[in-house]
Amino acid sequence: MINADCAEFQATWNAHPMASNNTFNKSPNDVRLLGQARFGVYRDDCEGLHPETIEKYYGVDGAERVGQSGAGNPQDEEEPLSLEERIGLEQDPQIRHEAIDVPDHRNPFTDDAHGENLFFSVLADVVKQDIMPAGYGLLAEEWDNDGYPDVEILKVGKRARKEIEVSLAHPIWLASSFVGLAFNGPSFGCKD
């Protein structure tokens, strides 16, 4: 009820003519439309950004100017950098290598239709027979006493000191891990 009243008041207020020397009895809606026609539509540079990012790069005093003396902004000072440029400059010292080429992801069967048909035929038979390869944590005898694990701990970082916990929802991961192994992993029954 209060929100509806406020919305009605806002709509009425924005449509009422304003009497002043600058508005010439135009409504706030008219002034906004004329301003957009004359100056363009305002684009919020911070739309979708996290508040901490906005605070860090804009703060309460606005964007920091490169080479700013603090005594105003004379014409010979450079224009402020865009947010993307400022973040890029901050990240530059942390990138210590040239970009690496991304490995090619090609279909291994592009020139061999018979091999592709054979692979998928064998895969369908293996899935139908519910054959699971050993050594990948898929078999019940490879699990702890608690049964299929709820999480997997992956060690990451330069010296594998940081641990990331990955959820292993049983109905999703157990079924899909086998098919993923078939497409990405080693041959059945073999272990890396």
Closest among 32, 34, 83 to 57, alpha carbons compared: 83
What pLDDT score does 188 carry? 39
What pLDDT score does 32 carry? 87
Sequence-separated (6 or more) residues with CB below 8 Å from residue 89: 81
Burial class (CB in 10 A: 0-12, 13-18, 19+), 178: buried
What pLDDT score does 107 carry? 75
Q: How far is CA 45 from CA 49, 98, 156, in A?
A: 9, 30, 35
What pLDDT score does 142 carry? 81
Closest among 112, 123, 114 to 185, alpha carbons compared: 123
Instruction: Please answer whether residues 19 and 26 qualify as being in contact, where contact means their C-beta atoms are separated by less than 8 angstroms.
Output: no
What pLDDT score does 72 carry? 56
Question: How many residues in the chain?
Answer: 192
What pLDDT score does 159 carry? 79
Query: What is the pLDDT of the chain when averaged over all its residues?
Result: 76
What pLDDT score does 93 carry? 77
Dihedral pair phi/psi, residue 159, rounded to 5°: -115, 20
Q: Give the H/E segment covering residue 153.
A: strand 151-156
What pLDDT score does 170 carry? 65
- Low-confidence spans in the chain with pLDDT less than 50: 185-192
**What CA–CA distance (Å, rounded) separates 131 from 179?**
11
User: Considering the chain, what percentage of its residues have pLDDT values greater than 90?
Assistant: 7
- What is the per-residue pLDDT across 83-100, written as a single tens digit (0 to 9) for each? 788 888 888 777 777 777
Dihedral pair phi/psi, residue 31, rounded to 5°: -60, -40
